[in-house]
Chains A and B, each alone.
Chain A
Amino acid sequence: DSGVTQTPKHLITATGQRVTLRCSPRSGDLSVYWYQQSLDQGLQFLIQYYNGEERAKGNILERFSAQQFPDLHSELNLSSLELGDSALYFCASSVAGTDYEQYFGPGTRLTVT
């Protein structure tokens, strides 16, 4: 157990819908990272938040957005869902103040039908 928690574990929804994934980092970690893992694209970095502020952006679609709240939990919002958005979504957190040693949560498996 990495100490990073994610909910829900599984999510099944229809095309065009919107969903919210939630992540709580390890105690003391200020950074939260979101990753998407699919068979064709592999493990891809989406976005990073550090202490409530967006810090780095990767291959995140405009239909996706995220935020980090004062209690440091983070939410990833996916809207206008398409079949191709079906994937595993992981969040990770890292030792305070660095991007090293990123520990992953258990992931949310999103299925868009």
Chain B
Amino acid sequence: GENVEQHPSTLSVQEGDSAVIKCTYSDSASNYFPWYKQELGKRPQLIIDIRSNVGEKKDQRIAVTLNKTAKHFSLHITETQPEDSAVYFCAVLSGGSNYKLTFGKGTLLTVNP
């Protein structure tokens, strides 16, 4: 099955700095790569996603890049704010006959004011 590795597991930045979280995956047939933000005790919230026919996607301070050849994708948050503090999960939608989202283990991002 699909294997998703996410790094780093924790990340601490100063307010205004950028944060980058990286994920690698194993199934070359995977074609959809969402990122979720989860605050303590809350639901995972979809913040951005990218499909395999696109190399980069931006939404205000958030961007995702995808390298299908190397099988990795990254979340970039610029001008971080304290409210960006949360756990971020990458996920991969595998294809074949069993479509399912496989999640990374998560990155705890702390933005220090």
Contacts and interface: CB of A to CB of B under 8 A. Distances in A.
Interface of A: 2, 33, 42-45, 48, 55-58, 90, 99-107
A58 B43 contact: no
Given A48-B100, A56-B100, 9 more contacts: A56-B98, A99-B32, A99-B101, A100-B49, A100-B93, A101-B34, A102-B101, A104-B43, A104-B44
Tell me whether chain A's interface is mostly helix, strand or loop, or mixed: strand
Given A43-B89, A99-B32, A100-B93, A106 B43 contact: yes
Contacts of A90: 43-44
Interface residues of B, number: 21
Majority secondary structure of chain B interface residues (helix, strand, loop or mixed): strand
Interface of B: 32, 34, 36, 42-46, 49, 51, 89, 93, 98-106
5 contacts: A43-B106, A90-B43, A99-B99, A100-B51, A104-B45
Nearest to A104: B43
B42 A42 contact: no
A48 B93 CA distance: 13
Contacts of A101: 34, 46, 49
A49 to B, nearest CB: 13
B100 A45 contact: yes
